[in-house]
Amino acid sequence: MPVVGISPFESYKSLTPLQHRDFAFQVATPTGWNVCICNDAMIREYLNASDEYLSSTAPIQGFFQSRFTAPGLFHKIPSSMMSKALTWSRTRTRSGDEYFPSFIEEIQHSFEQEINNHLQSDGDWNQFDCYTIASRLVMGLVAKLLAGDECRNPESIDLFCDYTAEMLVGGPYIRRFPDFIKP
């Protein structure tokens, strides 16, 4: 596999999108080597490969240490199975299906709830914490997907937001420890 650059700086400096469009190549980064694949056939092969051969979730599992931070057996689901499930999920909905309209309805309801919680009644300017509102909206959709109508429970949304924040912070901390010390 071709190597682009001898250091992270050289790698980024020498990359051009059209130069490597039909094959895979390696790029040096501060945390190791990344492999870039550049055409649809390689991406399909990558998604359908078994985890024993090639794992599409390994970089994410390594970065977030999902073996320690994700509950249950999520980290043991094969990549090819996840890919097929996502493809099935995309193709199973029809124009008359209520699946996506219910998501739209939920995001509208959640947005109104979040904004109304921050509106001041005196008619003056209102301050909004956009990050908090956006994260609560996204977690509301995740809750709709995973827990159905529980997505309208503010305590559930708080739980989803808190867990996500802890996982994003905790994973990189756990990654610093040598393997024999990890939980």
Long-range CB contact pairs, 17-24, < 8 A, 24+: none
Residue 18 pLDDT > 80: no
Residue 124 pLDDT > 60: yes
Mean pLDDT of 49-78: 70
In the structure, what pLDDT confidence band is assigned to residue 108 with cuts at 50, 70 and 90? very high
Residue 78 pLDDT > 80: no
Q: What are phi and psi of 166, to 5 degrees?
A: -65, -40
Mean pLDDT of 30-43: 76
In the prediction, which pLDDT does 1 show?
Answer: 45
In the structure, what pLDDT confidence band is assigned to residue 20 with cuts at 50, 70 and 90? low
Residue 10 pLDDT > 60: no
In the prediction, which pLDDT does 80 show?
Answer: 56
Task: Identify which of 162, 101, 118 has the alpha carbon closest to the alpha carbon of residue 136.
Answer: 162
Mean pLDDT of 177-183: 82
More confident residue, 1 or 136: 136
More confident residue, 58 or 8: 58
Give every strand in the sheet of 3-4, ordered side by side: 3-4, 25-29, 32-36
In the structure, what pLDDT confidence band is assigned to residue 155 with cuts at 50, 70 and 90? very high
- Give yes or no for a contact between 3 and 14, defined as CB atoms under 8 angstroms apart: no
- Whether the predicted model's global pTM rises above the 0.75 cut: no
What is the Cα–Cα distance from 81 to 47, expressed in whole angstroms?
A: 9
Residue 154 pLDDT > 80: yes
What is the Cα–Cα distance from 56 to 48, expressed in whole angstroms?
A: 9
Instruction: Please state, rounded to an integer, the average pLDDT across all residues of the chain.
Output: 74
